[in-house]
Amino acid sequence: MTADYIKSVITTVADYPKPGIQFRDVTSLMQDSKAFGTCIDMLAEHYRHHQFDKIAGTEARGFIFGAPLAKALGCGFIPIRKFNKLPRPVLRQSYQLEYGEDVLEIHKDAVHSGEKILLLDDLLATGGTMLATIALVRQLGGLVEHAAFVVNLPDLGGADKLTEQGITCHALCEFEGD
Concerning whether 61 is annotated as a catalytic residue, the answer is yes
Concerning whether 24 is annotated as a catalytic residue, the answer is no
Q: Which of 150, 119, 115, 152 is nearest to 135 (CA)?
A: 119
3-state helix, strand, coil split of the chain in percent (to 5) is 35, 35, 30
Q: Catalytic: which of 24, 48, 92, 98?
A: 98
Q: Catalytic: which of 61, 81, 105, 115?
A: 61
Largest CA distance in the chain: 43
- Cβ-contact 156, 20 below 8 angstroms: no
Q: How far apart are CA 54 and CA 79, in angstroms?
A: 10
Q: Residue 44: what residue type?
A: A
Q: Which of 27, 65, 58 is nearest to 127 (CA)?
A: 58
Q: How far is CA 63 from the centre of its chain?
A: 8
What is the DSSP track for 79-134?
Answer: EEEETT--SS-EEEEEEEETTEEEEEEEETTS--TT-EEEEEEEEESSSHHHHHHH
The catalytic residue positions are 61, 98
